[in-house]
Structure 1
């Protein structure tokens, strides 16, 4: 996907919160948390932080947590890790930096967790504490630059950055590719794209990243902006009809996406694709887009993990069977699949240590030169610590489109949807 870390974090997240509270804390002692335990010993405790009660809404950031919990439940039913049961401990940070730091202290100081898994924090203010304590954080969602900054944090999509702990990426600059725009041009002949954003700093900044990527791939770009407090989607839709774009991208939240689709249907706007992101890749589309059947069936999503609808794949089938009992009325989502994959990643790393389980051993597994795929659920993930950013990169992506009565339908295999694309700079 374009600007891989940025795609996940901005379109539905930064737009909604205009100010995040920063927090700091004291250094945690590293030696206090190192653990060596033989197989069959006490349960292995891991922490899961999710911004469950954030201002964005109750279900916005719980998918990875739910997927990880489902995986650990299935793992324990099958004997655990080398005969040792996993005990997940969850913490809701409320979507704030202060709450996040409190969760980090609770999990590391009080609960003495061995590692963190599938972190999904709107403001990961406690990341420096986790890193200084040498606690591995595996498979977290990159809702900010922490996973491209700290060496003991391992985001679900990997990182090429040096991760020295001093600044994100390369001296505060991150890089991302244009593979999504290349794919739509190659597969559907798209040449004109519209980018819709709020008149709000984070939204506008993300929109500029999309525009830069589209222009790098030779698109004619139409930009549209709506008022954050009083958005007039009808005016945007009217201009879209006049501009006749092939694609519509946005830097809006989920609610704004649904309202934009309604306005597009009312105005008779027809596009090849209304492109959204992995956070909106879920089974709630019929309810959220109930008033816009045309736009609903033009929804496309791109990501870095295998479509949760692809139950012909054994790993996806296992996820669907494992998650079923934990949904409790919540929609099925791609983030749940990625949380499942994050938990699998930790379990595979811990299992590789056999009877000599240490944090250092777990991190050696994660830092291997061989990429990790979670049995094919993820595109190959690696951590390379490159001194200089690459100018181009061969990048792959998963693509799906919504179709009523079928759900999200995969478009080509994600391991074949690949291209060598330029890497463009941006500041997080």
Structure 2
């Protein structure tokens, strides 16, 4: 027990050494935990994307983009199709969408989408891979049904000059009489909507969109029954072909059935790119942890050679000396790990977003660069098993470094150890 106490007491034998060693260890752990958390966030996003697509079909009016006011693409899914789809065997969920476009000076146009509360806010032209994340305000709820409220993408918010502080009082006005080369005007009154939330999607065009309650959009655009899209989720991926065949039989040539494929492109070109960078960064970060721990332990033991020589001369057994050295190594490693983990819990989310914005984003396709980092749900949290694995590996290396250096020192005679400089 006295040798364990000696090892612990040696932690503070030099304040400068204490601060330097713990600083190096905590920084190394911090970097390792940061890269691990980024990798976990990317894996979770990829799994969510796959889960939203693998068992899903998209229905549109055949040969049309199915936008209410889009030139030559305004054919909609006919009335009654929604109930026919819902009654199809192996259909687990149906999400109806109504889409329109509104001109925006300088940006061309923004997408206007009506959805039911709780349904996925899919993104036009990249719908199945959007999974936008609310970054300010609140989401649409069932209580908003029929109300003039909306949530908008961060790109649209910037264009309109709406900040998070203005949510609840900020508004956007839809003027249906305005036209555009791709949009024909409609003889319907303008409607002002209160903006209650802002989202980020990770997709530049996806952030120039507005979501409102489906019933509100039906009223504004005068579309009481028809729909633009239906997203149909089968009860399992294996039943998707059977659901598609049944829908073709029921709906005939009125509706085109599309198996979403954009998610593969998203995963390969965005998630894949970031995950490759993350894996490389994680390997380097863990290598840094192990190298720092190993060589710090070597230096700490070598620094105590005179003390070790004195203890040997006094007849202290080699095993007791090793216990003292290992106690110091374990204590340094654990304290450094806890400091790194604490700093990560306090500042990790912001650092991760900064690393993605300035490190990974330039490697992504241009259309993802502006919005990708803010679209991720980055949290400074790690599974206990992950944290235990990192600390356990560092402890093993600390023990290895200490034992190696202790073995080299204990081989010396007491006089050689004392005289060593």
Q: What is the TM-score with the length of structure 2 in the denominator?
A: 0.25
Determine which structure has the larger helix proportion and give its number.
2
Q: Which has the higher contact order (CA 8 A, sep 6+)?
A: 2
Larger Rg: 1 or 2? 2
